[in-house]
Chain A
Amino acid sequence: MDLRISNYFDRSNKVYINVNNKKIEAYEGECLALVLFVNNIKKLRLSPKKKQNRGMFCLMGSCQECVVLIDDKKVISCNIFIKDGMKIKVGDFDK
């Protein structure tokens, strides 16, 4: 089931992003955190002490939970718009 609502807007070009070496289809300009979430990639990083899985939470740039690595740099993914060929790493990247 595609969870996109298409009643109000047409998406832009279909593109592919690379998440932990897996190809994921998305549309250019979509919110990265959300595309990962609806593709069931919910575990984005580990918490510092207890090493619990953490993922997208507030979606407005406040909680800082949705951090991923893009080109080896830490960014909060709720604030990232998808570009073709983006290379993303999720999971235990703090090692």
Chain B
Amino acid sequence: MINNKKYDVIVIGAGPSGVSSAVNCAKKGLKVLIVDLNSNSGGQIYRAPPKTYKSISKKLEENEIQKKLSEEIKKFKIETAYNHTVWQVSPGFKVNAFNETSTIQWQSKSLIIATGTYEKIIPFEGWTIPGVIGLAACTVILKAHHFIPSKKIILAGNGPLLMLVAYYVIKFGGKIDAIIDTSSKKDWIKSTFSLMTNPKNFRDGIKWVFKIFLNRIPVYSNSTIEKAFEVDEGINVKIRNLKTGKAKNIISETIAIGHGLIPSTDITRLLRAEHIYDEQKGGWIAKVDRFLRSSVNGVYLAGDGAGISGALAASDKGLLASWALLYDEKIISQKDFNQNTYKILKKLDKYEVFAKAISQLNFTPKKLIENIDNNTVICRCEDVTKSEILTAVDRGARDINQIKSWTRLGMGPCQGRTCQYAVSKIVAEYLNCEIDNLGYLTGRSPIRPVPLDKVLGDFDYEKITKVEAAPL
């Protein structure tokens, strides 16, 4: 269905940055639409519980922050399109989305892309077994859906998410069989001073680590899951110490794994914006100026989508992008723009110190990539293994799009979101080259699978205008 409703700004993503930018635009009188795949605001970090859940006396901080975001949207009467999956964005701008029943198209003069991140996961043999899930998935299970993922769990990967998930699993009565961290204890200690620049998150971190320590959870540092396979009791995991080479097997029910976050570039790649590779900021990101303008006129980036800097910085980044938009649209003066952005830029500089420390804890060691077995499926959608990727490289593929054409990786329903980072790392490691040289997957729509019946909608065959056949 073409709706053709026109807006001044469409904000894609209703996380903390999307909401702050939408609110700021609405305050200045712009007609704003905010679109999100989920049923409420909050994004992933403050993901809202299902609407059927009724709050009782005890409160979880994240759920409270989400409520405030919802109230802001209501207060400024911002139009929302929740439960809408965006599957195409074209210049002009036309945003195509679908919900449970139909498809819809909106138009806007400007776009604020606040689509956040998805999880970075370095594959290992057996990561496709049902029962192996993302660490970020665990945060959603615990804090939004209010479940413990399983009776017993192994947490693996690196970075603060490991500790956060461990904290909540213990708090809610789950059992952690092991924490497997590719970083060393020294890496954590080294990052302490930088992490302290963000006292709120630092205090949370200390709280998490204490809980893990007091509950005597076995922590394997410098280690990774090398292989996992199904057994009667659950999943058998082979842990490998990347420094000493020692191995150990543990059996658990569920494995949660994550190695940090990757900025979502689906829409900026579709719009052919320029992108740059920045390992610290999470990999390929849309190139932006200091005020988060992309290389495409009228397209702004807010939140972690323009490089990882965390939840606390997200709402400020949303504000910054919206000030740039308001200035470009001549709604505020140069003086107002300078005044409003000056303080935000200073604050963001401070958050960068913290973000850098986090990114170092999410560092992907070379050994982790080397250690992936050749039979490991890397592209989950199309079942493409590491050896198939390397064969394509051996035969001369040097660009990730060429590897895509030859192997089908990145052609499946996820459009490479899950595997692009790992593929780039594997190939760069194999060729001993920079990831920049391999390029990134060209954006292709649909960025999410869109059911054809929804695109077609309901119609009578009789009412279709028949075109006369061309003369032979």
Contact = CB atoms under 8 A, between A and B. Distances in A.
Interface string B455-468: 00000000000000
A49 B52 contact: no
Given A3-B148, A3-B151, A8-B146, A57 B63 contact: no
Interface residues on A, range: 35 or more
Interface in B45-75: 49-56, 58-60, 63
Interface string B142-184: 1001111111000000000000000000001010000000000
Given A34-B147, A52-B128, A61-B85, A8 B60 contact: yes
Nearest to A41: B130
Contacts of B8: none
Contacts of A29: 50-53
B383 A58 contact: no
B133 to A, nearest CB: 6
Contacts of A7: 56, 58, 172
Contacts of B137: 56-60
Interface string B22-39: 000000000000000101
A17 B51 CA distance: 19
B281 interface: no
Interface in B283-323: none
Interface in A1-18: 1, 3-12
Given A27-B52, A62-B417, A57 B146 contact: no
Contact of B147 (A3, A50, A64): A3
Interface of A is mostly: loop
Nearest to B139: A59
A28 B129 CA distance: 28
Contacts, number: 143
A62 B63 CA distance: 22
27 contacts: A3-B149, A5-B148, A8-B55, A9-B49, A9-B53, A10-B56, A30-B50, A30-B52, A31-B50, A34-B145, A38-B147, A38-B149, A49-B383, A52-B377, A53-B129, A54-B128, A54-B130, A55-B130, A59-B141, A61-B37, A62-B118, A62-B119, A63-B118, A63-B417, A63-B418, A64-B413, A73-B451
Given A7-B56, A10-B54, A49-B382, 12 more contacts: A6-B146, A8-B55, A8-B60, A34-B141, A34-B145, A37-B133, A47-B380, A59-B140, A62-B414, A64-B413, A79-B85, A81-B52
